[in-house]
Amino acid sequence: QLQLVESGGGLVQPGGSLRLACAASGFILDIYDIGWFRQAPGKEREGVSCISRSGGATNYADSVKGRFTISRDNAKNTVYLQMNSLEPEDTAVYYCAAVRMGYSGARYYTGLKVDEAHSWGQGTQVTVSS
């Protein structure tokens, strides 16, 4: 069974940066597309970014485009989320999960839908505050 563990969260000032990591165990990560999601207090969980199993395709929510960068190192079985220019609105628990990206038959998967993700990690808290 795929198990994912997030790390790298913390407290950062507005404008600062953090790099989150999503490490896999149980399975080799390069057979999965992986997504990052977040849930702020009192809000629904939302998709942030995702990356295909080869790393050749990525997708971002509009709210983080130009500020966040997703990458993966399959040799280390790890997916990263580099977060720059952080804003208080980015405060949330961040989760990684296995997703599906691209076309399957006639259906297109963005990789950012919560109900299409599985094998969730436990999450890591990111707090952006002065």
| Per-residue DSSP letter, 89 | G
pLDDT at residue 27, as a whole number? 78
Q: What is each CA distance from 13 to 64, 103, 130, in whole angstroms?
A: 17, 39, 5
What token pair was written down for 29? 């990560």
CA distance 104 to 114: 18
* Tens of pLDDT, residues 42-99: 999 999 999 999 999 999 999 999 999 999 999 999 999 999 999 999 999 999 999 9
